[in-house]
Each structure stands twice: as structure tokens, then as C-alpha cells.
């Protein structure tokens, strides 16, 4: 049975970047014996795919797909099952699904979180971008005899260089790298108002 290292070796041999015809910016092994390749342009990506197709008897090649956004439904009665929630959202909130084709009609329950009230919980859904925008614009949805609030639940991304939110380190614009240094030297930890927080520990 092939291991992750075996798959990586097969990818290197198939791409053969040393001959200069293709350019790979980054390569990363992930779980389930998968390898992710990153290219700077679409043209370079297509060249890499062309090389990999030559090893199609050993490798499966797929384009990376972005994850759908997530929303959280606040204070939903705990007795509702996942199917109950999905059915109620579709039947009682027609404006959210009006005119959607099969490509944009995606909704699934990902997980639940405890609420302060033991009779309630918060339900996190992964939905298509269209449903996401409509739900947030509406601000609430009806589930059975409840009207529950809807909020964004997308994972929070923080840059490890400048400590700003909304982008990762590899998307940091040149010229912004000084921000982290400035924050570190702005004041000493004992003087920090956020002493004890995660931000204070990083400074």
C-alpha cells in the first residue's frame, strides 16, 4: 500500500519541475495521502496538470475547491433533529431559496454548540454563498414556532506577521511586515491593558 511519501515521490517524478517547463510555487502533504501543489498563474497550473495526467494510472488529479461559508443559528430548540431543521428552513423560508438552481442549493448541518439555556443550542450550517448572503441579509429564519437569529460563522483568520485579521501570512502585502515589530515595541507586557489575553502573551 502506497504511503504519503510514495505519493509525493510519484508527484515529483510526474511533474519533473527540474526541466524548467513547469513552475511550482509550493508543495504540501496533507492527510489521506494527498499532495497540494500551488502555482502562481493559471497557465502554470494547467501545465502541471498536463504533466500529472501522464501519471493518471497512479494519481488522481483534482482542482482545489473553496469551502462554502458557514452561518450560525442562535438558540434553536434542542429537540429539533438535523433533518427537522433543514426541512423547516426550506419550507418556512421560501425567500431564501427562491429561484435557486441545483448548483446554488446547498445546505447542511455541520455541528452544534451549547447555549446558556439547556433547552436551546446553536446550530452551525454550511451553505452556498447565495444562501449565505440571503440569510445574513434577512437576519433571521423561522424554524417550527421559532424565529431564530442568523450570524456569520466563518473561521477567523489572523496573520501571524502583522496580527491583523482577514488574511494569512502568505497573503501579506509587502511593506506591511513592520506592523508586527511596531506592536511588539509599542509598550511592555506589564503595561498592556489586555494582560492575560492571548494577544498580550504574543507581544
Residue 102 falls inside a structural domain: yes
Residue 181 falls inside a structural domain: yes
> What is the pLDDT at residue 1?
63
Residue 122 falls inside a structural domain: yes
Same domain for 121 and 176, yes or no, is no
Q: Which residue, 45, 63, 61, is CA-closest to 7?
A: 61
Same domain for 46 and 84, yes or no, is no
Same domain for 105 and 140, yes or no, is yes
What are the pLDDT digits (tens) for 28-81?
A: 777 777 777 777 787 887 887 777 777 666 777 777 777 888 999 999 999 999
What are the pLDDT digits (tens) for 110-131?
A: 999 999 999 999 999 999 999 9
> What is the pLDDT at residue 51?
75
Same domain for 146 and 195, yes or no, is no
Statement: residue 18 has pLDDT above 80: no
Structural domain including 30 reads 4-53
Residue 142: strand pairing partners: 147
Residue 69 falls inside a structural domain: no
> What is the pLDDT at residue 67?
80
Structure-model confidence comparison of residues 178 and 151, the more confident one: 151
Residue 164 falls inside a structural domain: no
Q: Which residue, 191, 173, 74, is CA-closest to 122?
A: 74
Same domain for 90 and 130, yes or no, is yes
Cβ neighbours of residue 188 under 8 Å, at least 6 residues apart? none
Statement: residue 160 has pLDDT above 80: no
> What is the pLDDT at residue 164?
58
Residue 98 falls inside a structural domain: yes
Q: How many CB atoms lie within 10 A of CB 76?
A: 23
Residue 65 falls inside a structural domain: no
The domain tally of the chain equals 3
- pTM of the predicted model, to two decimals? 0.55
Q: Is the dihedral of CA 178, 181, 187, 191 positive or negative?
A: positive
Given a contact cutoff of 8 angstroms between Cβ atoms, the answer to whether 76 and 140 are in contact is: no
Amino acid at each position: 500500500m502506497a504511503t504519503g511519501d510514495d505519493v509525493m515521490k510519484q508527484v515529483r517524478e510526474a511533474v519533473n519541475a527540474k526541466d524548467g517547463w513547469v513552475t511550482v510555487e509550493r508543495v504540501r502533504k496533507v492527510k489521506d495521502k494527498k499532495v497540494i501543489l500551488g502555482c502562481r498563474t493559471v497557465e502554470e497550473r494547467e501545465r502541471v496538470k498536463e504533466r500529472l495526467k501522464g501519471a493518471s494510472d497512479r494519481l488522481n488529479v483534482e482542482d482545489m475547491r473553496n469551502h462554502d461559508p458557514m452561518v450560525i443559528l442562535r438558540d434553536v430548540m434542542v429537540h429539533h433533529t438535523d433533518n427537522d431543521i433543514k426541512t423547516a428552513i426550506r419550507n418556512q423560508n421560501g425567500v431564501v431559496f427562491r429561484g435557486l438552481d441545483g448548483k446554488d442549493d446547498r445546505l447542511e448541518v455541520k455541528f452544534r454548540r451549547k447555549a446558556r439555556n439547556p433547552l436551546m443550542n446553536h446550530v452551525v450550517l454550511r451553505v452556498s454563498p447565495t444562501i449565505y448572503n440571503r440569510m445574513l441579509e434577512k437576519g433571521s429564519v423561522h424554524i417550527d414556532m421559532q424565529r431564530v437569529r442568523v450570524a456569520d460563522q466563518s473561521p477567523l483568520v489572523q496573520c501571524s506577521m502583522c496580527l491583523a485579521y482577514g488574511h494569512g501570512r502568505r497573503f501579506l502585502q509587502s511593506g506591511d511586515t513592520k506592523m508586527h515589530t511596531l506592536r511588539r515595541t509599542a509598550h511592555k507586557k506589564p503595561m498592556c491593558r489586555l494582560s492575560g489575553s492571548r494577544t498580550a502573551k504574543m507581544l
